[in-house]
Amino acid sequence: MTELERLFALVPPPAAPIDTDADWTRVEDALGLILPREFTEIARRYGRGAFCDEFSCCAPEEMIKENPGRLEDLQLILGDAGADSPHPVYPEPGGLVLWGSDSIGGALCWLTEPAGSPERWKTVYWTRDDEFEYPEGGVAAVLTGLIEDLLARKRENGADVDGPWFDPYRKDVHVYLQLAEAEGAPPYEERLRILRENLAPTSARGSFKGADGARQDHFAAAGDQWRLTYETAYGHQIRVAYPPGEDTRVRNALLAAIDAMGCRVKGVLPVHGTAHWPQLE
């Protein structure tokens, strides 16, 4: 099995990827580089989006815009901290070229040496802790390793998480439902079970348990189209993100689930997008 096949088996590409008609020849012309074919194949199969809410590959416009600016900015930050980057930034000979990022601003880069085939370029992972890591293999192997390590760490820390996933980019509607518990409502664990049961099938996407007992549980529903967090960490609430046009379906499903949980909605905050929710005070 090739590295690319292993990535596809670990995280199946979406059925309807976004922005897959990219003109990578234009990107190559703008950068003056031939990009690894494996990278452009990953872009074609997955499109724009993120692996496990954490890692993403640059879209064409990002790659043109961010090279070399993003890496030069990181070099300045590193210099302000009294350290130097061990690598130059392209177009300096052998310089770094950005190809991806993590959710907190870390940079996944190619080290554009040795001369010859770009398929031989190594990856440098420049973390926001200003550390440089050197994962083995091409882009597919690097992504596979990062995803497996991420999920392993989550599980070791007691997080409830199912298999890896890829979410295509989408301009979601975001709504926060602030909750109050009715008298005799079951404890948190039971409320979470009821919520997920009412929205089944669901897939766990991580969880958090604070020392003070605060909870956060992330999961997806509706064929991974709805992304939810049930929590007490920042107030007792359900946060939900979903595609535009799904307001009525989401509202009806969540209100029924909340009622079954022994709770009521005391406030609704549409955070982003247009959400047609009734006044539920």
Q: What is the pLDDT of residues 54-78, one digit of tens each?
A: 999 999 999 999 999 999 998 998 8
pLDDT by residue (tens digit) across 85-108? 899 999 998 899 999 999 999 999
Percentage of residues of the chain with pLDDT beyond 90 = 79
pLDDT at 80: 82
**Residue 1 has what DSSP assignment?**
-
Residue 115 has pLDDT above 80, yes or no: no
Cα three-residue angle 30-35-40, rounded to 5 degrees: 110
- pLDDT band of 141, cuts 50, 70, 90: very high
- pLDDT band of 4, cuts 50, 70, 90: very high
- pLDDT band of 272, cuts 50, 70, 90: confident
- pLDDT band of 130, cuts 50, 70, 90: confident
Task: Specify the pairing of strand 122-126 against strand 215-221.
Answer: unpaired
> DSSP secondary structure string, 205-234?
EEEEE-TTS-EEEEEEETTTTEEEEEESBT
Residue 222 has pLDDT above 70, yes or no: yes
**Residue 252 has what DSSP assignment?**
H
> DSSP secondary structure string, 167-189?
EE----EEEEEEEEEPTTPPPHH
Cα three-residue angle 147-271-222, rounded to 5 degrees: 50
pLDDT by residue (tens digit) across 230-261? 999 999 999 999 999 999 999 999 999 999 99
- pLDDT band of 22, cuts 50, 70, 90: confident
Cis-peptide into 114, omega within 30 deg? yes
Residue 208 neighbours by CB distance under 10 Å: 17
Buried b (16+ CB within 10 A) or exposed e, 26-43: ebbeebebebbebbbebb
97/39 Cα distance (integer angstroms): 13
Contact by Cβ (8 Å): 174, 258: no
pLDDT at 159: 92
148/206 Cα distance (integer angstroms): 14
pLDDT by residue (tens digit) across 163-214? 999 999 999 999 999 999 888 889 999 999 999 999 999 999 999 998 888 9
pLDDT at 83: 81
- 3-class secondary structure, 92: coil
State the chain's mean pLDDT as an integer: 92
Residue 136 has pLDDT above 90, yes or no: yes
